[in-house]
Amino acid sequence: MKEHEIRPPDLFERYLELSRQDAEVFFSDPTEFESLPCPGCGGEQVEHAFTKAAFHYVECVGCGSLFVSPRPSREALGAFYADSLSATYWAESFWPTVVEARREKVFVPRVEYIAALCNRRSFQPRCVIDVGAGYGIFLEEVKKRFPSATVRAVEPGRKLAEVCRRRGLETMEAPVEEAAAWNGTADLVTCFEVIEHVHTPADFIRAMFALAKPGGYVLVTALGVEGFDIQVLWERSKSVAPPHHLNFLSVAGFERLFSRLGFVEIEVMTPGKLDLDIVRNEWFADPSVLNGDRFVRLLLRKRDPAVHEEFQKFLAKNHLSSHVRVLGRKPVESV
């Protein structure tokens, strides 16, 4: 898989430009922002990292997570996602262009991972709830692999919720924090690349914990601060895109977040495949992004594809990819 297959450069650049415009329109008064503790460990000791589009990113001294603080209120973020040009462009222009590529490259492998997880943990998902279901592609693939399973979508966006309904999915059009009617019904709750966007990750994950049955699983994927591409590019990373991406937890941050919310059997993995490709693409577009970073330039100049492949495998194996997958189980005795 290559970055351009799931994130075409021209479309993505347009999305980023609209995001910059939206930041000025929706969040022009930073005096209305509010400070929050670390979304991972809950710690309050932070150090300033950088400022991007007037959003201040800080690093947690305790766990190393990167996050925006102070940040817009929950209500302001809700209005932004309901009405902003960038959010509309992502849903109506960007996603329809890449949806089938992402089905093949992203969602089918995710379902294969879940099937392997079921074999490893000896359980079958009778009910799967996907939070932030978007176009419903993941749940369609789940239904193919587990035909007897009930699949449900939680999608707060009006237009995307309608897309899910047209695909025949049982859909709740609401934020997950307001999805209590389905509490305790899912053997597996999933959420892909949403936690970066939310105001309070602890409340968000707590709501997914509630959706799971006792003994059920919650699976989340996200961008992690310790990933190679984010560490190398830092504030110049296109993944650091305010006001959309506010939270970049560390591996320790994810572990502590899930632990303090009551999960057991927590696994944090970084199975990413694009870190080196992302850095290479940014370097080709603007060689100054690697000024002073002689080792990375040397690595990218290697002509042997096997070297790059082995390096990416090293990143994935050692929790150094920016694509993070977190699995936790709700204790059997939970009520």
- 335 lies in a domain? no
154/178 Cα distance (integer angstroms) = 10
Q: What is the reported pLDDT for 334?
A: 52
Any domain includes 334: no
94 membership: H or E segment, kind and range: none
Inside any domain, residue 144: yes
Question: What is 271-302 written as a DSSP string?
Answer: --S-HHHHHHHHHHH-GGGGTT-HHHHHHHH-
Range of the domain at 42: 3-329
291-324 pLDDT tens trace: 989 999 999 999 899 999 999 999 999 999 999 9
The answer to the question of residue 219 being in a domain is: yes
pLDDT score of 31: 79
pTM, 2 dp: 0.94
Pick from 188, 97, 96, 104: which is nearest to 146 by CA? 188
Q: Who wins on pLDDT, 203 or 53?
A: 203
Count: domains in the chain:
1
Determine the average pLDDT of the residues in 47-63: 96
* Residue 122, domain CATH: 3.40.50.150
Determine the distance from the C-alpha atom of residue 159 to the mean position of all C-alpha atoms in its chain, rounded to a whole number.
20
In tens, the pLDDT along 5-22 reads: 888 999 999 999 999 999
Q: Residue 170: which H helix or E strand, with range?
A: strand 170-172
1 pLDDT exceeds 80? Answer: no
pLDDT for 204-224, tens place per residue?
A: 999 999 999 999 999 999 999
Give just the sign of the alpha carbon dihedral 193, 195, 196, 198. Answer: positive
